[in-house]
Amino acid sequence: MKIVNVVLAVGTLIILGALITLGIKAFYPEPQPPSNAIQYPMEPAVVPCASGDKTCIANSESASVTYQAEMQQYQAAQDAYNNAVQVYDRNLFIIANIVGIIVFVVGFLLVLYADLAGNGVPIGIMMAGLWGIVYGYGRGWNSIDDQLKFFIGLVVAVIVLGGSMWLMQRHAKKARK
């Protein structure tokens, strides 16, 4: 492969890879963390009270109850955000893999059927498809069960490896002729 084809392949990979990532973020925005209104509550200072000081004891108990309520509110907001991120990462895994497979197949078909002077751009398109798949796995790894990861990985392996081997055999046959 000539140096121009390598540069075109890498440039296409970078541009399309960034476009895939940006496109997913633009049309499927990430959940936002809890607002600044819900901050981690500060634990009230422990103030020693005299044994008969009912006002001091009541204030201390009131501060403790308020702290517990704020802590529950904070924890509920944090749990809701964590659950939203878990769902987002799972969906992003699926979306990125579907987009990655489609982009890879488009690049594969361009290598196969387009009569281009060099194969740099179609190879870059194929690599960008692989980038989408890797991005999906990297982002959604902890949000997907192992069976789905395996199934998607199997589909990707069949398409990428099977298609690549078929393409290499076809190229070798053309070279012999």
Task: Please choose, from the candidates 163, 166, 152, 154, the residue with its C-alpha nearest in 3D space to the C-alpha of residue 106.
Answer: 163
Residues in the chain: 177
Name the H helices within the chain.
3-27, 54-113, 120-140, 146-157, 163-176
Tens of pLDDT along 165-176? 887 887 788 778
Residues 141-160 have pLDDT tens digits of: 989 889 989 998 999 899 88
Domain limits for position 123: 3-176
Decide: pTM greater than 0.75. yes
The structural domain count of the chain equals 1
**Is the pLDDT confidence value at 117 over 60?**
no
